[in-house]
Amino acid sequence: MSGNDSVVSLRDVDVHFENRRGMLDLFGEPETVHAVDDITLDIPENDVVAVIGESGCGKTTLGKTALGLQRPTNGTVSFRGQDVWEARDGADDVDIPYDDIRRALQIIHQDPGSSLNPNQTVMATLLQPLKRWKPDLSRQEKEARILGMLQEVGMTPAEDYAYRFPHQLSGGEQQRTALVRALLMEPDLILADEAVSALDVSLRVEMMDLMLELQEQFDTSFLFISHNLSNARYLAGQADGRLAIMYLGEIVEIGPCEEVLADPHHPYTKVLKWATPDLEVKHGDIEDPPVRGVDIPDPTNPPSGCRFHTRCPEARDHCVRTSVPSIDVGEDRNVACFRADEDSEYWDTHPLPDETAGDTGGEETT
């Protein structure tokens, strides 16, 4: 599943940022944040990949890198076999020009309100991309295409919605307008970065149904980024897509959505499942979070060995000392945890002591 049947392929990609710790540390050493660390990921045609993780785990950076909006520090990003950054930098032997790549890879943002120009009608906003990418169409043809798309996403009567301003639209309608803007480019891949969890719960299913319909109709792939496992399940599960669980810059578990959710292997995936509320009334008892610390460690100083060891309920001495390889655990499934390897030294070492309340997760435990 590599090479040319992928729309986008990431190979051994790192993205590192130099950071200063805030105003007080103005003259201190800049620190390096490993936002994305050694990630390899293929996004096939007509597929959904959902990337799930906590805030600050690097999922947005990963998404932007896949779209060619963020230059990787190491590794390559290619679009249908063409290196995106060679195309962008205007190398000589480019098969696919950068303009085509840009059109093919579109994004819908988290906040529907701020991604639309408040002073422009829906029609004016949607005409812009067509003017740029379909200059040959007449004005009438462009408008007809836009009205058709508005109809497609359920904004009817389309003639009415087309001449509204963003403040006259509900959050869900704003988000649908952003989706239409992306779709008018006839993209091969849409990056939806928290595009659903910002919506009211009552609007989420509707938005995802729409994405699924459009995926079927136009064969568009989605890279769906979220902290919300329920939304990821609804979208990736129905599209037979994959789920990638990210922790501190690394993909710690990946596989077919349904399988990962039914039988998660990585302790962190299990924790995320615990955190996902179900429609059940919890009687009386208080559950402690099944982690040894509720806060993410400082990404400028990630823990040694397995990065999850400062919070992992299953962590043992071996996890502190040794970094974890990605272990093949079945077709299309990989997990970065020693527990997936029954011959690992892990099993012969001691569990880490319980870290109790008051741990801010900032410091190292070695």
Looking only at residues 216 through 255 of this chain, which bind another protein when binding is defined by CB under 8 A?
Answer: 227-231, 233-234, 237-238
Strand intervals (E) in the chain: 6-19, 31-44, 48-52, 74-79, 82-83, 105-108, 189-193, 221-226, 242-247, 250-256, 327-328, 334-335
Q: Does 186 bind another protein (CB under 8 A)?
A: no
Site residues, ligand SF4 (CB under 6 A): 266-267, 306, 308-309, 312, 314-315, 319, 324, 337-339
Closest CA to 224 of 53, 14, 98: 53
Judged by CB under 8 A, the number of residues near another protein is: 53
* 262 burial via Cβ count (<10 Å: 0-12, 13-18, 19+): exposed
Q: 260: which residues sit within 8 A by CB, 6+ positions away?
A: 243, 245, 253, 254, 269, 333
DSSP symbol at 234: I
Q: Does 118 bind another protein (CB under 8 A)?
A: no
Nearer to another protein, 105 or 192 (CB): 192
Q: Does 205 bind another protein (CB under 8 A)?
A: yes
Q: Are strands 31-44 and 48-52 parallel, antiparallel or unpaired?
A: unpaired
Q: Closest separation between CB of residue 255 and ligand SF4, Å?
A: 16
Q: Closest separation between CB of residue 64 and another protein, Å?
A: 19
Contacted by 319, from ligand SF4, another protein, none: CB < 5 to 8 Å by type: ligand SF4
Q: Closest separation between CB of residue 150 and another protein, Å?
A: 16
Contacted by 176, from ligand SF4, another protein, none: CB < 5 to 8 Å by type: none
The torsion region of residue 136 among left (phi > 0), alpha (psi -120 to 50) and beta comes to alpha
Q: Closest separation between CB of residue 329 and ligand SF4, Å?
A: 13
Is-contact 48 235, C-beta < 8 A? yes
Q: Which parts of this chain interact with another protein (CB under 8 A)?
A: 21-22, 24, 54-56, 170-171, 200-206, 208-209, 227-231, 233-234, 237-238, 261, 271-282, 286-289, 291, 293-296, 357-360, 362
